[in-house]
């Protein structure tokens, strides 16, 4: 099972979490691949069986600039991914109105693509935790288990 991991990050936290996710999914026996600032052509060349997005939120509920090119390409070209398993790991701060709004935008895109969310979106709140990598571990374990089921 090939799992592509894409990220959206302003200050680097989501990239750290995405790298951690790659290690953990590999340890679970999956062929995980992470690259920051991935283009759609690179993503399609990998031919993923499943997709994981790890994204922060910026502005007022927006996606980070470094995920916008891929997000736009996916919306324009709508690859034939109907029914493939996927999940969103969202980083946010609950003191903002649109908590994890970037993650919600990715979920809307998943719906357009027909991607199937196999685990509910994880919301990590930076006003409550300084250890997002370890906080994500049980959820990543559940994601890996769902992919292998
Ligand atoms: C300017 C700015 C705007 C933000 N806007 C939001 C927001 O609208 N909703 C939210 O949930 N978090 C928001 N956040 C919080 C970040 O998403 C959160 O701190 C995240 O962990 C940052 O990850 P990064 O280091 O990968 O950029 C904002 C942070 C900053 C600095």
User: In this structure, are residues 43 and 5 in contact, taking their beta carbons and an 8 Å threshold?
Assistant: no
- Tens-of-pLDDT digits for all 149 residues of the chain? 999 999 999 999 999 999 999 999 999 999 999 999 999 999 999 999 999 999 999 999 999 999 999 999 999 999 999 999 999 999 999 999 999 999 999 999 999 999 999 999 999 999 999 999 999 999 999 999 999 98
pLDDT of 23 reads 98
Q: Which atom of ligand 1 is nearest to the CA of 15?
A: 26
**3-state SS assignment for residue 56:** coil
pTM: 0.98
Ligand 1, atom 27, lies closest to the CA of 10
User: In this structure, are residues 7 and 18 in contact, taking their beta carbons and an 8 Å threshold?
Assistant: yes
Name the superfamily (CATH) of residues 2-148: Flavodoxin domain (3.40.50.360)
Pocket of ligand 1 (CB under 6 A): 9-14, 56-61, 91-93, 96, 98-101, 126
Ligand 1, atom 18, lies closest to the CA of 92
């Amino acid at each position: 099972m090939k799992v592509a991991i894409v990220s959206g990050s302003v200050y680097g936290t989501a990239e750290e979490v995405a790298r951690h996710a790659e290690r953990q999914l590999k340890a679970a026996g999956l062929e995980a691949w992470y690259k920051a600032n991935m283009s759609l052509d690179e993503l399609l060349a990998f031919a993923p069986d499943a997709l994981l997005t790890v994204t922060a939120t910026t502005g007022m509920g927006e996606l980070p600039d470094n995920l916008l090119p891929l997000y736009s390409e996916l919306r324009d070209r709508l690859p034939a991914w109907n029914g493939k398993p996927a999940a969103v790991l969202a980083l946010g701060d609950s003191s903002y109105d649109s908590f994890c709004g970037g993650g919600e935008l990715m979920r809307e895109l998943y719906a357009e693509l027909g991607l199937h969310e196999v685990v509910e979106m994880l919301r990590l709140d930076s006003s409550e935790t300084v250890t997002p990598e370890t906080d994500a571990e049980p959820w990543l374990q559940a994601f890996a288990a769902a992919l292998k089921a």
